Chains A and B, each alone.
Chain A
């Protein structure tokens, strides 16, 4: 009489009793799977967005300096970087020239980013986010790295050269050296990366200014101190650290996901209460069945095992089903059901493809808040009933 054989028998018994009430059990399963589907989808979307933002931040400089005038951002004189030479701990100060470019033919807005790549410590990472091609040799002019929507615009026009117009309407052309990966779409979809001198030429930005300055720091822990020293040395600038950008992202995503999570958790709680209600009010037939089983020599633990199996099968199946559907929903349908909720994001990039990363802890969390309470709701009421003596099924009619 092995424990395994006993459990197999009880499992068999449970399966046939689940099958007998298949309509009721199937409806509970579907509702449960639906709730888990919503929560898991949401988790995956939030996670994918946060991850993308994190990725972008890795390439971002530790500190960015913007010059402010009348509350607006204006060009920074390159001479400012000399004023920083006295601050200990700064590895390098690199200028950037960037701006927005409206393409009248396609009606699209592009972000043009001019980088001095030979002086940027992390410039090698650019190749990692390229799908095709490779970044041109630093300082080489006339070559561009472009995002996927830019490439699609180019394909529609049928050309291979990227032709852009200066403010004076004269034309400059660039060869396409590489295209960014789909996974980084949220940031690179509309991006055109040029050499800094090409960007200067395109936007007609004078040689002695830049859009902003990137400050690279040797020791991460000194970032706040150095940022403060820079702010003191250059009173008319705004100094933004990577940590502050991250916080902004987190506030935006966090607020949205927080709001939706509250809604979804409410749905889950409602479901658990419903399950609890169903389970705790053991029907007279169920009570009778339990006392008959006890009379026939079933122990309390055997009866609990039926309930446990029932919970595992229903909740486990709902969990697996819900999570799988959620993954498909997010990975292959771009979380299309959530578009109306996440308005801002869908406006940013309507054809965004998300690459969800599956994180065990997230699913564990969902598991703890869904499967475990459901199991408790099925097992505990049976416990109080199963531990009473069997005699109630005896006696009268």
Chain B
């Protein structure tokens, strides 16, 4: 999926004493079926940029188009609908619900779609098989290992087969073996035709061979070196 940002600015708490400008006039183009890495120090605005690409919220100003479709002026509800059709999000802390089973966690994005339970289970089963967590199907997610948690998070991001995968500092809490494993999974997804955007300042990610482009961010601006 082609992603285009023009002069995107994001201001948190606008007009209040704790106003923060997280992004300033960011313009950016991410090609279809590419893997892009957003690199920058903590607080530089990576997550904010990823959230705007991921339709979590609107920019304060500027324009966002995904696959040629203008998203910047759509109301929140349409953002949600767009998000659940086109975007798979892998969160920094995975955001897995610990009380739910691995299978239930993976099926969560499908529940409000009104899909039949049989179909939902099949889709989850295929992914659990692929990521080698089938034996943990009924385990509460709070009781599985870090690697299994990561795979559960990836499976959940893929369950509605989105063309665009976003990952926010996915390796921050992983050891190098699991980080490698994660990047290999991402490389497979790119080979399968997905577009991938990852934020990270981890060399293991930024220097991976499947990464097409690294974009540096400093103080809310794209930094060209």
Chain A residues in contact with chain B, CB under 8 A? 1-6, 9-10, 12-13, 16-17, 20, 289, 292-299, 302, 389-391, 393-397
Contacts and interface: CB of A to CB of B under 8 A. Distances in A.
B16 interface: no
B23 to A, nearest CB: 14
A294 B57 CA distance: 12
Interface string B185-220: 000000000000000000000000000000000000
B108 A293 contact: yes
Given A391-B56, A394-B56, A296 B115 contact: no
A9 to B, nearest CB: 5
B111 A394 contact: no
B174 interface: no
B56 A295 contact: yes
A176 to B, nearest CB: 68
Nearest to B95: A292
Given A3-B114, A12-B117, A289-B97, A296 B108 contact: yes
Given A9-B112, A9-B117, A10-B112, A295 B76 contact: no
Interface of A is mostly: helix
B84 A297 contact: yes
A13 B111 contact: yes
Interface string B85-107: 00001011101010110001000
Given A289-B97, A292-B97, A389-B76, A297 B112 contact: yes
Contact of B111 (A4, A10, A390, A391): A10
A294 B93 CA distance: 16
Given A297-B84, A394-B168, A9 B56 contact: no
Nearest to A390: B56
A296 B51 contact: no
B137 interface: no
A6 B114 contact: yes
Contact of A397 (B76, B93, B97): B93
A297 B80 contact: yes
Nearest to B83: A297
A86 to B, nearest CB: 82
A1 B95 CA distance: 26
Range class of the B interface residue count: 20 to 34
B95 A6 contact: no
Nearest to A396: B92
Interface string B108-136: 11111111110010000000000000000
Contacts of B108: 293, 296, 298
23 contacts: A1-B115, A4-B114, A5-B115, A5-B116, A6-B112, A6-B114, A9-B110, A9-B111, A9-B112, A9-B114, A9-B120, A12-B111, A296-B89, A297-B81, A297-B83, A297-B84, A297-B109, A299-B77, A390-B56, A394-B51, A394-B91, A396-B93, A397-B93
Given A1-B114, A397-B92, A296 B109 contact: yes
Contacts of A12: 111, 117
A4 B115 CA distance: 10
Contact of B95 (A13, A17, A299, A393): A393
Contacts of B114: 1-6, 9
A16 B115 CA distance: 17
A2 B113 CA distance: 9
A375 to B, nearest CB: 21
